[in-house]
Amino acid sequence: MTTSNPGPRTPSTSRQDKVMRRRRAARLAAVQALYQADIGQVTPDTVALEFLQHRLSEDFDGFTLGDIDQELFIAVFRGTHAEREELDDMLMAVIAEGWSVERLDSMLRHILRAAAWELAYRPQVHAKVVVSEYVGLAHDFFDEREAGMANGMLNRLAHELRPDDFQAD
């Protein structure tokens, strides 16, 4: 009896996939924490502490908070919350005429703010990755119209903030 060998395992690929999934789950958790801080009108530290202490077993896109990149979660959540006025100004520069950031759905606004924060403050992550991650989150919550709006806004913002990331294109 012969068994077929599916080929060599590539631990780096599976490790890399796991890292990417942990980061995506961290971004999702950060956006949800931003939403909670906004709706609940509680301090960011209270929300972050609640997420880290009491929501460790809650499912975020197939991961629990114990499985996510907690450093990324904290960085995106706190950074976005602290810089939201500046981020709103950035988003206003790329939003369609006749729209305002305040007019956007609250969850979409938090997705866009978090993406803008990463584009502005985390240059080590390629702009295309940031745009792709947050457009993916927009697709998780909204239909094509809102996700398309997020894609257009984030692409324009990425090109403005990080033109070097698009030099080879």
DSSP per-residue string spanning 6-23: -----HHHHHHHHHHHHH
Residue 31, H or E segment: helix 11-40
pLDDT tens digits along 82-138? 999 999 999 999 998 888 999 999 999 999 999 999 999 999 999 999 999 999 999
The closest of 118, 84, 117 to 101, measured between CA atoms, is 84
Whether residue 26 is predicted with pLDDT greater than 60 in this model: the reply is yes
Predicted local distance difference test score (pLDDT) of residue 110 = 97
1-12 pLDDT, tens digit each: 444 444 444 445
Q: How far is CA 107 from CA 70, 96, 125, 147, 164, in A?
A: 21, 18, 23, 12, 30
Amino acid 4: pLDDT: 44
Task: Give percent of the chain with pLDDT exceeding 90.
Answer: 59
Rounded distance, CA 89 to CA 120, Å? 12
pTM: 0.85
Looking at residue 1, its pLDDT comes to 43
Q: What is the pLDDT of residue 61?
A: 60
pLDDT of residue 9: 43
pLDDT at 128: 96
Q: Which residue has the higher pLDDT, 64 or 99?
A: 99
CATH for the stretch 83-161: 1.10.940.10
